[in-house]
């Protein structure tokens, strides 16, 4: 049997964490022959709730689950972790300015970045889910100077999956037939869901839907889907967010399918003219636990305008917390 991998999860007693931990423990991310140790981290006031999650995991008697660690101490939670999924974040409260939200989360993700730097495996792979996810990932990476910034990513797979579902519904297709979907930029309403290179059963998506539909309906629907779910349920996305975490980590760990790519927010290397350093969603392929940004896509003026708009927002977020970054 393979040695177990250790997965640290923050905010593990919350809605997304609760929907996620059982799927990881049952093999959905790392496969049916890979044992796991879950290291579940919460704030002190949520430890009682976290103990209930631990009891349920025990009651499932999952053969791949070798151990569960419940803690409010980041040093314990991240110790020797091979993967970290950072869900816990401060939500935006009524009347809070965006800069205040960025500043409050900068404190959280600075501390987590330092703990990961000091205690985690040197080969750790980190996914930031807590919003504003892109800039929170930037902050965490900046506070882990002994690690490569490429080890830190943010989640736009939920947006990617939402786009897949919308396109499948519009074209009466199967999601499994859709390839080469792309989300560019920030996990926010400035993101750019792009079907310019998308294929449906090998046919260009734009042969099956009109450009007007894509601009007037598809793009804003994907951008605002989270708000639509809150309006309908009174709660933010949880099950679909957990599912996107599974997809992101599975593809990163085990590789993307031949001829396809996925969307991941990663530190920009200057590809497509995007400013280096910001955590920006690109189309990527994965292999051997690494990712590569897909190169050479032909983007028209409309697309480049959208890429620049979401880049501008991310640059503004970085500027808003610049004085909180190490060395500033």
User: Which residues are part of the catalytic machinery?
Assistant: 187
As given in the structure block, the two tokens for residue 244 are: 């996107």
Taking the C-alpha atoms of residue 59 and residue 142, their distance in angstroms, rounded to an integer, is: 39
Q: CB-side exposure of 105: number of CA atoms within 13 Å?
A: 32
* Chain CA centroid to CA 205, Å: 25
Long-range contacts of 94-103 (CB under 8 A, 24+ apart): 98/320, 99/320, 101/132, 102/132, 102/135, 102/317, 102/320, 102/321, 103/320, 103/321, 103/324
Contact 311, 305 (CB under 8 A): no
Number of H helices and number of E strands within the chain? 11, 14
Taking the C-alpha atoms of residue 6 and residue 22, their distance in angstroms, rounded to an integer, is: 15
Residue 59 φ then ψ, to 5°: -70, -20
DSSP string, 119-147: HS-TT-EEEE-SSSHHHHHHHHHHT-TTS
Comparing CA positions, the residue from 88, 81, 86 lying closest to residue 47 is 88
First CA to last CA across the chain, in angstroms? 47
């Amino acid at each position: 049997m393979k040695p177990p991998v250790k997965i640290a999860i923050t905010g593990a007693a919350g809605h997304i964490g609760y929907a996620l931990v059982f799927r990881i423990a049952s093999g959905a991310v790392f496969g049916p022959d890979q044992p796991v140790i879950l290291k579940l981290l919460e704030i002190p006031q949520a430890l009682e709730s976290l103990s209930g999650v631990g009891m349920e995991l025990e009651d499932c008697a999952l053969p791949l689950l070798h151990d569960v660690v419940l803690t409010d101490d980041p040093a314990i939670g991240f110790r020797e972790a091979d993967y970290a999924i950072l869900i816990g974040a401060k939500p935006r409260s009524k009347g809070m300015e965006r800069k205040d939200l960025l500043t409050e989360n900068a404190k959280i993700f600075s501390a987590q970045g330092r703990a990961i730097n000091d205690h985690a495996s040197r080969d750790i792979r980190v996914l930031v889910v807590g919003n504003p996810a892109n800039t929170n990932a930037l902050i965490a990476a900046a506070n882990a100077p002994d690690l490569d910034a490429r080890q830190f990513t943010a989640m736009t797979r939920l947006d990617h999956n939402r786009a897949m579902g919308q396109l499948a519904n519009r074209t009466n297709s199967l999601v499994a037939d859709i390839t080469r979907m792309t989300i560019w930029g920030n996990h926010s309403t400035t993101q750019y869901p792009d079907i310019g290179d998308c294929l449906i059963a090998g046919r260009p998506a734009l042969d099956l839907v009109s450009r007007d539909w894509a601009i007037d309906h598809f793009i804003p629907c994907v951008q605002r889907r989270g708000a639509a779910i809150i309006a309908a349920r009174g709660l933010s996305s949880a099950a679909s967010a957990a599912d996107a975490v599974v997809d992101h980590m599975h593809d990163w760990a085990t590789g993307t399918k031949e001829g396809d790519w996925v969307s991941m927010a990663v530190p920009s290397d200057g590809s497509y003219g995007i400013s280096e350093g910001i955590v920006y969603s690109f189309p990527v392929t994965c292999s051997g636990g690494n990712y590569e940004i897909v190169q050479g896509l032909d983007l028209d003026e409309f697309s480049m305008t959208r890429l620049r708009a979401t880049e501008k927002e991310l640059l503004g977020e970085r500027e808003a917390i610049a004085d909180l970054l190490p060395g500033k």
